[in-house]
Amino acid sequence: MPPTPGRRFKTAIYEQFARVAKALASAHRVELVELLSQGPRTVEALARLADMTLANTSAHLQVLRGAGLVESTRDGLFVTYRLADPSVADLLLSVRRVAEARLAEVAKITRDFLAQNSQLEPVDEAALRVRVRKGEVTLLDVRPAEEFVSGHIAGALSVPLPELARRLARLPKRREVVAYCRGPYCVLAIEAVKQLRARGFKAVRLEEGVLDWAALGLPVERTSA
């Protein structure tokens, strides 16, 4: 018996929904979406940040573009990618939250990594947010400068991780330092806190990145670095 028009309609619609899910069914593509949620990037920059070859990066980006999740523009020899719209960043956050809630492996992998880096001490994130918003700490954005320009937590200073060591002398040592990067699974802020503590600073990591901060309705700025 042939399928009814209603069944054909539902199958066709769900196949389109599945295109989006399939596009994210790769750890590499999820990471690329996270990187692009911080701002537009060239294929070369994305390949470098994600530790992939140019060919693999381009292939993954084509899948994401085919599903309508990213867009691209060409300027001479360089192709720059960006998220198609803010709903893609919201989708990334939703996927992450479901994984955190339903997969015990997420917590275990995170806990093991933080333990290896001596950063398992409990941090009251809500209280830390209040202190950040009141300007009671020195807030460092340790992402690359171009990501800071695309959007950063209000009041943050742009100190990309490779520049941190030479800029420590400019930071007030008696004031607590809070470092953040792309979110709870970004390792840049973890490394920054290790360096700061080794030099005698009282330093902690803010788990939230710009996406998380904006999702909480907290102020995000877009100014030059």
CA–CA dist 61, 147 (Å, integer): 19
Q: What angle do CA 65, 70, 73 make, to 5 degrees?
A: 90
Q: What is the dihedral angle through the alpha carbons of 62, 68, 73, 79, rounded to the nearest 10 degrees?
A: -20
Residue 150 phi/psi, 5-degree rounding, is -70, -25
CA–CA dist 46, 58 (Å, integer): 9
CA 38 centroid distance within chain? 6
Contact 153, 220 (CB under 8 A): yes
Q: What angle do CA 68, 210, 86 make, to 5 degrees?
A: 25
88, 132, 181, 214: the catalytic one is 181
* H-helix segments, the chain: 5-23, 27-36, 43-49, 54-66, 86-102, 104-116, 125-133, 145-150, 164-167, 188-198, 210-215
Could you confirm whether 181 is annotated as catalytic?
Answer: yes
**DSSP secondary structure, 193-211, as one string:** HHHHHHTT--EEE----HH
Active site residues: 181
